[in-house]
Amino acid sequence: MRKVFWGLLKKDFKLMLSSKFFLLALGSLVLYSCYINFVYVKLDQKIYPVYLYDPQNTQADSEYVTRVDSREALEAACADQYSVGIDISEDRPELYLLSSGLKTADHYRMIWGGAVLNGDMDGQAAVIGINDKEMKNRREITAEFLFFELSAVGFLGLASMLFKEKQMGVIRVHGILPVRRPLFIFSKLFLLLGSDLLFTALLTGINLGFSHTLEVLPSVLLQAGILSLIMSLAGFLCAIRLPDFKQFSLFYLILAVFVTTPVFLAGQTGAAWEWIAYHPMYHLFVAMKSAYFSDPTAGAPYYMICSGAIILLFLLACRTLNREMAKEG
């Protein structure tokens, strides 16, 4: 059986080479790393501008505050939905801000406005964890890029390879070869998993540095392995079930728009949707991010559900493969 598996592996490796799969992965690695190192780590959020309407001049001047002459001027200055206004024309100070649409961001703006009003700007930030701003950014964006690569690009990679075999009709030939049919799936999974884990190790190593990588790599590899297996099996199923690449592309678009976009929005922005807790990809995303921050939040139920999903997808893939083998030419 080892020899048979080796034969399948060699063939799949050649197919992956000819479909430029590795070139694509290498391109992604270079692109993501360049973006992280030359762009993302230098990004920082502009501090919320604070406008103060203080006709009695009760407040001392501060580098964080811009004075305005009237209530109207204060409202005009805060019309950008980003700035914070402080009106102390009455006895009771009033914070004025137009909602940005994101609850969390508005909450931070209010805290910042209050801090400026009370002169508590320095020494108030709590140090959370062991990361400085740059390392926090690196971990965050690396986790997001890896999630995107494994869930979208990996899915497409295996499916495009399988579509080639389907179009050539060679899947049917495997139905009459002395080969256990699950091995046909295993060899592809093995290669994809190996390639995804290597990609994960390289992406993490390049962008987090050696010592930080060693610290998070085992848990990151575990999450990457789970995501890789789930997405590869889903890609396998779709590529066999859908009759042509056009339909597959449409399905891929739906997957990207309706499945992964809410996860990114919920994870990256302040969008607060209660239903996101029922979105399976969201939990995979959170587990990946937690792994990068050495904060494993996923418990036994998560791993049990993931294992169950992998087994179920594998059984479905075997069944679909058997049907494909019995199809007419």
- Dist CA 161 CA 156 (whole Å): 9
Least distance (Å) between residue 318 CB and other proteins: 13
Which residue, 3 or 46, is less far from other proteins as judged by CB?
3
Kindly list the residues in this chain that would bind other proteins in the complex (CB under 8 A): 3-4, 7, 10-11, 14-15, 18, 164-165, 168-170, 172-173, 175-180, 325-326, 328-329
Which residue, 178 or 301, is less far from other proteins as judged by CB?
178
Least distance (Å) between residue 10 CB and other proteins: 8
Least distance (Å) between residue 188 CB and other proteins: 14
Least distance (Å) between residue 19 CB and other proteins: 9
Which residue, 88 or 325, is less far from other proteins as judged by CB?
325
Least distance (Å) between residue 264 CB and other proteins: 36
Which residue, 14 or 107, is less far from other proteins as judged by CB?
14
Least distance (Å) between residue 322 CB and other proteins: 8
At CA 232, angle to CA 229 and CA 233, rounded to 5? 85
Which residue, 126 or 176, is less far from other proteins as judged by CB?
176
For residue 144, CA distances in Å to 15, 29, 226, 267 come to 28, 13, 16, 9
Which residue, 101 or 169, is less far from other proteins as judged by CB?
169
- Dist CA 220 CA 198 (whole Å): 12
Q: Which helix (H) or strand (E) holds 86?
A: strand 84-87
Separation of CA 126 from chain center: 26
Beta strand pairing status for 84-87 and 65-68? Answer: unpaired
Beta strand pairing status for 50-53 and 65-68? Answer: parallel
Residue pointed to by tokens 């792994």: 291
H-state helical runs in the chain: 2-18, 21-38, 71-77, 103-118, 133-148, 154-168, 170-173, 181-208, 210-241, 245-254, 261-268, 280-292, 300-325
